[in-house]
Amino acid sequence: GQSLEQPSEVTAVEGAIVQINCTYQTSGFYGLSWYQQHDGGAPTFLSYNALDGLEETGRFSSFLSRSDSYGYLLLQELQMKDSASYFCAVTGGFKTIFGAGTRLFVKA
């Protein structure tokens, strides 16, 4: 079967750094993606890792370890607008499987 595990909720303060972990079990793996979704809105793409290591895009970084079937999203200099749900997603072939999402609450 295919499954992704990520924490259901994370709370952090403005200006801090937060890490959202994702472990996966899939048949067929091309890469790990991260999406952000604000309440009532559409998911938007944040990052993609196909190879082991860290990818940095502005305040957001994403890490992948294929041997551990593990990745994380790192958000730095948190802002109130970062309060949203974050989904990890595994692409294997033509399908993309999404995790249940991590709700991030950023406090002032």
Provide the binding-site residues for other proteins, judged by CB under 8 A.
4, 30-31, 33, 35, 41-45, 48, 50, 87, 90-91, 93-101, 103
**Residue number, 33 or 106, with CB nearest to other proteins:** 33
**Residue number, 14 or 45, with CB nearest to other proteins:** 45
From CA 43, how far away is CA 34, in angstroms rounded?
10
Nearest to 104 by CA among 64, 61, 73: 73
**Residue number, 76 or 98, with CB nearest to other proteins:** 98
Q: How far apart are CB 15 and other proteins at their closest, in Å?
A: 27
C-beta neighbour count of 2 within 10 angstroms: 13
**Residue number, 42 or 108, with CB nearest to other proteins:** 42
Q: How far apart are CB 94 and other proteins at their closest, in Å?
A: 6
Q: How far apart are CB 68 and other proteins at their closest, in Å?
A: 18
Q: How far apart are CB 95 and other proteins at their closest, in Å?
A: 6
Q: Is 100 left (phi over 0), alpha (psi -120 to 50) or beta?
A: alpha
- Return the structure tokens found at 84: 């949203």
